[in-house]
Structure 1
């Protein structure tokens, strides 16, 4: 990849630093798509020993690229995303990858297809960790940042895909415990007022 192409492509991906997600940080600002992708990759890296049978280098790479389309489309929260939104994001990914040399683009396109279709254990793990990292961030930000529908959603989001692996199920269960504790503390706080 020549320097001009590399700089141009990084310039597009820079939007991931600017595009915010529905989630809030503990400092009281919305997190960026880039921050989410980075922490998702760190989560996968920290769980590497739990998945010796998987290609964790591939998992981490998938974590880093999984939201590239949002550089062009912005983020749409999962509870609002439609099939049309999914198609728009897939088109954005294709458009983005056209800017890369064919040798790189074909490999990334294959990864995106694998992620979209959940055709590998690695892709399923990325999906489970993606949902879990989102919930961890919700919990860290606190219930004052939650929409009313998120009280139920925070208890059920990602359950199905997290059941695929024992370790992701354990992590999901622990995150749910934290969610319930936050809800209990909120109720206790309302009673004390």
Structure 2
């Protein structure tokens, strides 16, 4: 058992400077919780409508698992990008990419940035820098995040019942995201494997 003095010593040892108070932290988490209740235009393998939060979780896992495939890339940054990429949908909901207008994108981006600007300075600066890098699509990290975002949707469609697909998705699942993976041989091979699964699904179901 640890004695009282040991606990006291331990608490002194781990004392850290707080850059935001716990209420500010909880306010951010409470708003982000909305994504658990925000449905996406896709279903799970059992036909249940998935949430935005579920999509964000899986692309984050997809990024983490690529650490050894991209040793020169900051995979932790990619995971961070994946975690925050749909936070704007806390305010607008999910709109499928094939019907989303430029005006709707601008509204989502504006509402997200307004929220980010209201956060404690250090958090706001970190998220703003990350969002800017994601939008610019210049770095390897940003390109990997964007590719995974699109590929996860294709994978989910391959897992969902065919009768939940909209008519245009039969073609989209064959053609979508090849441009997003063109920078990477590994991701291009992954996209080809997803296409093989799509064709098999359409043919056999």
TM-score (normalizing by structure 2)? 0.88
Is 1:177 matched with 2:164? Answer: no
- Partner residue of 1:115? 134
1:52 pairs with 2:71? yes
Is 1:31 aligned with 2:31? Answer: no
Determine if the alignment matches structure 1 residue 100 to structure 2 residue 124: no
The structure richer in helix per residue is: 1
Contact in 2 for aligned 1:16/1:71 (Cα 8 Å): yes
User: Secondary structure at the residue paired with 2:68?
Assistant: helix
Aligned-pair Cα RMSD in Å: 0.9
Does the alignment pair 1:152 with 2:182? no
Map of 1:191 onto structure 2: none
Shift of 1:177: 0.3
Q: Matched residues in 2 for 1:113 and 1:101: separation? A: 18
Q: Computing the radius of gyration over CA atoms, which structure comes out larger, 1 or 2?
A: 2
Question: What is aligned with 1:9?
Answer: 28
Distance 1:132 1:152 in 2: 15
Q: Can you give the 5+ residue segments of structure 1 that lack an aligned partner in the other structure?
A: 187-193
What TM-score do the two structures reach when normalised by structure 1?
Answer: 0.94
CA deviations on 1:34-55 (whole Å, 9 max, x unpaired) are 0000000000111111100100
Say how many residue pairs are matched. Answer: 186
| Match of residue 80, structure 1, among 89, 93, 99 | 99
Query: Deviation string for 1:33-79 (max 9, x for gaps)?
Result: 00000000000111111100100000000000010101111111010
Q: Secondary structure at the match of 1:122?
A: helix
Structure 2: unaligned runs, 5 residues or longer:
1-19
In structure 2, the partner of 1:22 is: 41
